[in-house]
Structure 1
Amino acid sequence: MDRGGAGQARAWVSASSGALLISTAPIATLAQTYSFSSVRVEGNQRIETGTILAEAGISQGETVTAGQLNDAAQAIRASGLFETVEVVPQGSTLVIRVQELPVISRINFEGNTTLKDEDLAQLIGSVERRIYSPTQAEQDTAAIAQAYVNAGRVNAVVTPAIIPREGGTVDLVFQIAEGGVTEIERISFVGNRAFSDGRLRNVLETRQAGLLRAIIRADTFVAERIDFDRQLLTDFYRSRGYADFTVNDVNANLTNERDAYLITFNVTEGPRFRFGDVTLSSEVPEADPNLFRGLVRVQAGDLYSPVAIENDVSRIEAQALREGINFIRVDPRISRDERGQILNLDYVLVPGERIFVERIDIEGNATTLDRVIRSQFNTVEGDPFNPREIREAAERIRALGYFANADVEAREGASPDQVIVDVNVEEQPTGTLSFGVNYSSENGPALIAAFSEENFLGRGQSLDFQLSTGEDNRLLTFAFEEPRFMGRDLALGLDLSYRQTDNASALYDTDQFRLSPSLGFPISERGRLDVFYAVEYNDITDVAGSDTPNDPTDDASPIIEFEAAQGGQWSNSVGFSYSFDTARNNIDTPTNFSFRAGQEYGFGDRTFIQTTALASAETRVLGEDLLLRATVEGGYLHFSQGESRVTDRFFLGSSRIRGFERGGIGPRDAKTDDALGGNAYAVVRLEAEFPLPVPEEYGVSGGAFLDYGSVWNVGAPDRFQDRILYDDFTPRTVAGLSLFWDTPLGPLRFNFTEPLQVEEQDRTQNFDVTVSTRF
């Protein structure tokens, strides 16, 4: 060995617990060199000597410096296999002493009740029957602590501990002190003038802690949720004309007791803009602007809304594709008139880049089939690349509700004129099995068992089953839908229902069965058409008095007895239902309109036409704190062969006109007081919803309403006409107040009504409540 001259000292290099120590005498020895005729490894039991020597990188006879010995110790330590490492020169022999890290025999969690063992196990990187790593244990500890922060327990303490066992193994135990829930005590806003704090809090996903805070998960602080709330606020303001709205900052501060968060959104609203001149021009020779001007829905004077612009752009680009004009883009160019608070808009057709879609790669879907995700793309491999279409497809994938997270990105493909679309999804549970209780003043209490699956077998199909049994009726329903029948935007549905009622609410029983397959498809941007076939069976049984003709006490109406004598009846029908709704993509807009209308045509022994329609409009005023809604609905049933029965006709109750029991208004038998229903009905409902001066976190709001309507026209044979009351249109009017309570257990609504215009034999109710709870 070359000693390197006088002043030599023994060099000792150690790596223990992540720190390397070099013990030397004079500094000059750092340049000392060594040459070893042999290398000896001590202390290893499971790790092969060759593996350690390979990590050290020192060969027999090689001349090395003290710095290289230090590097060798570092390299061995970096393998993550050893607790301590020592590299010690002993004459012509280099001794490498190691102490191996133990193997994890078992991983346990102690003290956890909020998060389950299986949930925590998915967060950690330590694995049983593998070598214990202190660094990995520290990372696991941080991951578990963050999971508790996300669950609202910022004071949770996680401590890793190792318990030595025989054979060089240890148990790794994460000891958890969960602490209490750190709630969001208050959400406030600075800089808002157009809208109240209460209205803005309703926009957010995050909620203040309320009465039932123990089961409300949105009242805890999660940083990712706050980021989402920033975007929700921005979308809310900009869709109402505030083009310059920004969220300057969000401050989330713990109280001194560290048991609650105080969150403050600092915003700048800016001025409110309206559209001025709206034009369309083209920089593409083959794109005639006249072909596209009719697709523009934005008009001068409308409030500025990026959603409205986006919808126009989508329609124009889609029309360009139908015209065979590829690689065209719509550039919405805005010029501002600050003084007049006007935004002039020019849709300019410009040439797009000639880029094609090479392929679409999908990852993360363990259950959902690839074709379900691909069906949300209007683009396939080889099509021209349209960034807007890819963004819209990403929104459609997220809107499915199958995924906790869905990222869609494009990257360059095999050549500069090709892109690869990457879809990365994180699946979430899509099925529910629930048991619960439902109560309403109209139908009384009922026990409910329900199963629902929105992504059946990963095929994107929905399946719903519900069984309800109450004091007066039993109901079984089954529904199935394939939303992409034959690979098209065509929904194939199958609905089945069976209802049975008893004498608790009437002097007769009924049995009703209906099976209806259907097809549904969009016919416009916001309109949808469904067509269906239905086979139905109904029967009237156990009519009171039919078996005791000499005892008229509590006898049912002769009209019902006449209808029951016809026995069970089957009917076949075809029909359609059209719906239109201005609400799109769950955008929170201040004004919405919806319309539904349909007809059903019966054929065979029972020939009839049934027509129903409903139109509803709602708007928010006074800073959007007050919601006004108006609804008109009606129906008419006409038999050209056969006659309507009590199982066919319309009945009105509190679900359509408040303040009355089911069958509480309309035609009835003057002598038996039986409700007979009617072949026609019409109802107008006017209502308002407004906040109450109570803490918003309680989820309580108020309402007022005015209902007006009637049901009429039994259509019974002439011999029964003298027994029927209110067979003509006889309007009723009720007014009332409502109390809404939005609880995690279900929505509760309390209605307090006062009749203003009723008939003597109507069955009114001054109070009703609807409760729906599932667990």
Structure 2
Amino acid sequence: MKRVLAIILLVLVALYGQAISPTMAQSGDVTITKIRIEGAQRIDPATVLSYSSLSAGDTVSRSSLNRAVGRLFATNLFEDVSIGLDGTVVVIEVLENPIINRISIEGNDVLPDEQLLEFIDIKPRRVFTEKVALDTKALLMEIYRQFGRYAAVIEPKIIKLPDRRVDLVFEIDEGPLIKILTIKFIGNDAFSDRALKNVIGSREAKWYIPFGTNDKYDANRLSLDTQKLRQFYLQNGFANIDIVRSTGELLADRSGFVLTFQIREGGEYPVKSVTVNSEIEGVDTDQLLEISTIELDELYDVRRLEETLSLMTNKLGEFGYAFVDLTPDIQVNNEDTTLDIIINVGAARKNYVEAININGNDRTLDSVIRRRFELVEGDSFNQLKLTLSERNVRNLGYFSKVSVDVVPGSSGEQSVVEMNVEETATGSFQLGFGYSTFDKASLTFGINEANFLGTGRGARASISLSDKTTNFRAGITEPYLFDRNLVGSVDIFQDSIEYTSVELEKKGFDFGLGFSAADDYRHRIGYTLADTETKTTSTTALSESGDEGAKLISEVSYTLTKDKRDSRIDPRRGYLLQLRESFAGLGGDSTYLKTVIRGQYFKPLYFNAFVIGLDGEAGYIDGLGENVTRSNRFILGGRKVRGFESGGIGPRDAGDNSAVGGNQYYVASTNLTSDFGFDKDLGMRWTAFVDAGSVWGTDYPNNVIKPDDDSLRSSFGYGILWDTVIGPMSFVWAYPIDKESHDEAKVFQFKFGGRF
């Protein structure tokens, strides 16, 4: 037996020596004289040679040839690779990976092909490997999980075609939508499960809430919910709150998810003291403490601490310190279960604005934005002016997002202001309809472009139609007339209103010049020239309007506005005060002095969860020795006192019951608006309101119902404000509370707008 084994061993050695050539047999290394590539079809042999890193003249060993095989496999171009020696000739034999001919998805109903193919990172004509199929499957599974389809099954199928091509097919069983069935809290003694469920964004699935996405399990939302819970406890005195763990577990039968939050609450801590330590020489810490919103002896609330830090940072910014480090140190007194809050202000130097960079304005001209800045390069840094600049740019309404960052400049005393904006559609249209006892059905359409060709110029037109009225407006605005702080505007208008016995037509134009001054004051001087004509269409009307025949109105006006609102588009805090004086008598057929005052106030409640708005307005017109005609009086109702039609309040003609208006009026409104209770993803808010007002007084009292009756009219109502992908919608229902028998109501209003 031993002799047989020895003979076999000798034969193998002889064969090996012949295969690798005498040089390899003796030394184990071979000097390459030539390299031959076999099996390459689509791929150039030179490319194969380059990837192998082998060259004629190289001395190679078995291990170096194995490394060359590894390099070729690493390219993912080849299904199989072998390297052998034919004497001193290296033979590289490859089998190329197939090419993807077509990618298709089958069995998907919830997510369309286009959406899925957009997510995956493979395209036809790409090299196919098994890893490509598995990675794509994993990506598709993750996409379905994000849409709540945790039971989805995805199988990649490979269909081989001639010429080393394959069709890649993903067969999908989407499975049922798996939602959150239960949300559990462990360790919550201070707050009930129900209270904590209202804090987090995730929701338990309910059959009566078919829309929304918050009842789908989302790992990112779970992480956010953990932060919300922690923040909630920190807002209610629990300075040592610890969310031990938060988990989302899929039930064994895959029927749904269970979310579990384990909480270690700690105790409630009132604030005992607040102190400020500053390393900036000359800063009055008492002045910083005066703006603190932290209340002593009240439970600790992290929101008040954050607000205080923000106010102090801004105050230091007003002093010229762009980069300040405020660090709160919260010390717990276990003996009396209180907190001491120490705010440490780090050392800083005054700064100057080195540069202002504006990013993201692909459409809007740079100059349109820069002219809204309160700062220019070279100015001393001032946080208040920077905040006002950010507000000014946001108030333009051209951008969906506006943010400002201050970064260090070329030296320690220089700052660079980086403003980042995101353009939004500035063209819009509005479509609305309503119903009233006077107008019956009414239709309103308006179109507006606020930033024409990125220049900041505005153009607008609107028309309102009903059985009784026709109103048309068109105008343009130049926001920086003559390259100065002047706003110029021109509008033309034509109005027609048909009462039972009288038809009133008014047409003309309005020209205005406005400018802004310090401390948020705006001034506007306007001139209106209008031609009015009144026609009697029947003998039903009994009162005298004073408008009979054609009259020319020449009116000059002045408007003073102080606007401290944080936004003109969607204000949440601040106030507006406005005074308008109009004088007619510079030519024309009418003489009067008209005064209108208006005020608004907005305040966020419960840390921005709600916004309360107060709005008041009053007006008076004096004929300066002449009688004030119907067309120049005030009309009340409609948008000012909801629940009544336009002109539905006040003195009326004893014959046809049409509104004759009044020489004086007042109106007040309280609004509460919030998205509380709505899924954040829906973009919906609700509003509740109470309106009140009255209009009275006429210089033609004969045959007028209650011409001097200033009785209060009031209404209450509610509405839904919905910001949809196609534009904002509003649905408003209003109901009169105090109403005279001759007043006319209007319960429902709908308005729709779009963007372009």
Q: Settle same-fold status: TM greater than 0.5.
A: yes
Structure 1 residue 42: Cα displacement:
1.2
> In 2, distance between residues paired with 1:693 and 1:582?
25
**In structure 2, do the counterparts of structure 1 residues 170 and 313 end up closer, same or farther at CA, with 3 Å as the change threshold?**
same
* Counterpart for residue 705 of structure 2: 725
Instruction: Specify which of 650, 660, 677 is matched with residue 661 of structure 2.
Output: 677
RMSD: 6.1
State the secondary structure of the residue aligned to 1:351. coil
Q: In the alignment, is residue 531 of structure 1 matched against residue 523 of structure 2?
A: yes
> In 2, distance between residues paired with 1:328 and 1:597?
38
* Counterpart for residue 72 of structure 2: 76
Q: After superposition, where does 1:44-59 map in structure 2 within 5 Å?
A: 44-59=40-55
**In structure 2, do the counterparts of structure 1 residues 459 and 188 end up closer, same or farther at CA, with 3 Å as the change threshold?**
farther
Q: Report Cα offsets for 1:449-506 as digits up to 9, x if no partner.
A: 6667787756788887666555555556678889999999x89686858574543888
> In 2, distance between residues paired with 1:265 and 1:394?
40
> In 1, distance between residues paired with 2:80 and 2:284?
77
Instruction: Specify which of 619, 640, 650 is matched with residue 636 of structure 1.
Output: 619
Aligned partner of 1:634: which letter?
Answer: E
1:740–1:750: 8 Å Cα contact kept in structure 2?
A: no
> In 1, distance between residues paired with 2:676 and 2:238?
27
> In 2, distance between residues paired with 1:9 and 1:296?
94
> In 2, distance between residues paired with 1:392 and 1:231?
31
* Counterpart for residue 21 of structure 1: none
Q: Report Cα offsets for 1:66-120 as digits up to 9, x if no partner.
A: 3332221221122233333232344443222223345556666666676666655
* Counterpart for residue 593 of structure 2: 608
Q: Which residues of structure 1 form unaligned runs of 5+?
A: 12-28
1:206–1:226: 8 Å Cα contact kept in structure 2?
A: no
1:327–1:351: 8 Å Cα contact kept in structure 2?
A: no
Q: In the alignment, is residue 99 of structure 1 matched against residue 78 of structure 2?
A: no
**In structure 2, do the counterparts of structure 1 residues 55 and 764 end up closer, same or farther at CA, with 3 Å as the change threshold?**
closer
Q: In the alignment, is residue 710 of structure 1 matched against residue 694 of structure 2?
A: yes
Aligned partner of 1:613: which letter?
Answer: R
Instruction: Specify which of 517, 524, 544 is matched with residue 559 of structure 1.
Output: 544
* Counterpart for residue 761 of structure 1: 742
* Counterpart for residue 317 of structure 1: 316
Structure 1 residue 309: Cα displacement:
0.8
> In 1, distance between residues paired with 2:628 and 2:271?
54
1:213–1:219: 8 Å Cα contact kept in structure 2?
A: no
2:230–2:241: 8 Å Cα contact kept in structure 1?
A: yes
State the secondary structure of the residue aligned to 2:702. helix
Structure 1 residue 727: Cα displacement:
3.1
State the secondary structure of the residue aligned to 2:701. helix
1:298–1:312: 8 Å Cα contact kept in structure 2?
A: no
> In 1, distance between residues paired with 2:617 and 2:499?
28
2:638–2:647: 8 Å Cα contact kept in structure 1?
A: no
2:617–2:667: 8 Å Cα contact kept in structure 1?
A: yes
1:278–1:346: 8 Å Cα contact kept in structure 2?
A: yes
2:469–2:496: 8 Å Cα contact kept in structure 1?
A: yes
> In 2, distance between residues paired with 1:699 and 1:396?
25
**In structure 2, do the counterparts of structure 1 residues 645 and 282 end up closer, same or farther at CA, with 3 Å as the change threshold?**
farther
> In 2, distance between residues paired with 1:585 and 1:435?
15
* Counterpart for residue 84 of structure 2: 88
> In 2, distance between residues paired with 1:159 and 1:317?
61
> In 2, distance between residues paired with 1:608 and 1:63?
106
State the secondary structure of the residue aligned to 1:666. coil
> In 2, distance between residues paired with 1:631 and 1:406?
29
Identify which range, 693-702 or 72-81, moves more after superposition: 693-702
Q: In the alignment, is residue 664 of structure 1 matched against residue 656 of structure 2?
A: no
Q: Report Cα offsets for 1:699-752 as digits up to 9, x if no partner.
A: 9999987665422123x2xxx223333333532355767586979694544445
What TM-score, normalized to structure 1? 0.70
Aligned partner of 2:90: which letter?
Answer: L
> In 2, distance between residues paired with 1:667 and 1:450?
31
Instruction: Specify which of 535, 538, 560 is matched with residue 576 of structure 1.
Output: 560
Aligned partner of 1:575: which letter?
Answer: T
* Counterpart for residue 66 of structure 1: 62
Q: Report Cα offsets for 1:127-173 as digits up to 9, x if no partner.
A: 45554566456545544554454455555566666666676666666
* Counterpart for residue 18 of structure 1: none
Q: Report Cα offsets for 1:492-551 as digits up to 9, x if no partner.
A: 686858574543888535546665667576966xxx4443344446565564xx155xxx
1:449–1:466: 8 Å Cα contact kept in structure 2?
A: yes
Aligned partner of 1:320: which letter?
Answer: F
* Counterpart for residue 598 of structure 1: 579
1:737–1:751: 8 Å Cα contact kept in structure 2?
A: yes
> In 2, distance between residues paired with 1:499 and 1:576?
26
> In 2, distance between residues paired with 1:77 and 1:345?
62
Instruction: Specify which of 88, 104, 119 is matched with residue 123 of structure 1.
Output: 119
Q: After superposition, where does 1:246-645 map in structure 2 within 5 Å?
A: 250-253=246-249, 282-287=278-283, 304=301, 305-321=304-320, 350-352=346-348, 402=399, 430=425, 438-439=433-434, 445-446=441-442, 469-473=465-469, 498=493, 500-503=495-498, 507-511=502-506, 515=510, 528-536=520-528, 543=535, 546-547=536-537, 552=539, 554-555=540-541, 557-560=542-545, 562-567=546-551, 569-581=553-565, 594=575, 596-602=577-583, 604-605=586-587, 608-615=593-600, 631=614, 633-639=616-622, 644-645=628-629
Instruction: Specify which of 16, 38, 42 is matched with residue 42 of structure 1.
Output: 38
Structure 1 residue 41: Cα displacement:
0.8
> In 2, distance between residues paired with 1:192 and 1:506?
72
State the secondary structure of the residue aligned to 2:547. helix
Structure 1 residue 579: Cα displacement:
3.7
> In 1, distance between residues paired with 2:210 and 2:695?
45
Aligned partner of 2:701: which letter?
Answer: Q
> In 1, distance between residues paired with 2:645 and 2:552?
27
> In 1, distance between residues paired with 2:139 and 2:329?
47
**In structure 2, do the counterparts of structure 1 residues 480 and 123 end up closer, same or farther at CA, with 3 Å as the change threshold?**
farther
Instruction: Specify which of 638, 645, 651 is matched with residue 635 of structure 2.
Output: 651
1:203–1:236: 8 Å Cα contact kept in structure 2?
A: no
**In structure 2, do the counterparts of structure 1 residues 722 and 448 end up closer, same or farther at CA, with 3 Å as the change threshold?**
closer
Aligned partner of 1:731: which letter?
Answer: S
1:578–1:597: 8 Å Cα contact kept in structure 2?
A: yes
Q: Report Cα offsets for 1:656-697 as digits up to 9, x if no partner.
A: 445544333312233442212223223455788999999999
> In 2, distance between residues paired with 1:291 and 1:507?
66
1:110–1:173: 8 Å Cα contact kept in structure 2?
A: yes
2:406–2:415: 8 Å Cα contact kept in structure 1?
A: no
Structure 1 residue 56: Cα displacement:
0.9
**In structure 2, do the counterparts of structure 1 residues 723 and 506 end up closer, same or farther at CA, with 3 Å as the change threshold?**
closer
* Counterpart for residue 770 of structure 1: 749
> In 1, distance between residues paired with 2:475 and 2:224?
34
Structure showing greater Rg:
2
1:237–1:245: 8 Å Cα contact kept in structure 2?
A: yes
* Counterpart for residue 15 of structure 1: none
**In structure 2, do the counterparts of structure 1 residues 162 and 35 end up closer, same or farther at CA, with 3 Å as the change threshold?**
same
Q: Which residues of structure 2 form unaligned runs of 5+?
A: 1-8, 17-24
> In 2, distance between residues paired with 1:92 and 1:650?
106
Structure 1 residue 284: Cα displacement:
3.3
Structure 1 residue 565: Cα displacement:
2.5
Identify which range, 51-60 or 250-259, moves more after superposition: 250-259
State the secondary structure of the residue aligned to 1:722. coil
State the secondary structure of the residue aligned to 1:87. strand
> In 2, distance between residues paired with 1:286 and 1:624?
35
State the secondary structure of the residue aligned to 1:314. helix
Structure 1 residue 649: Cα displacement:
3.3
State the secondary structure of the residue aligned to 1:651. coil
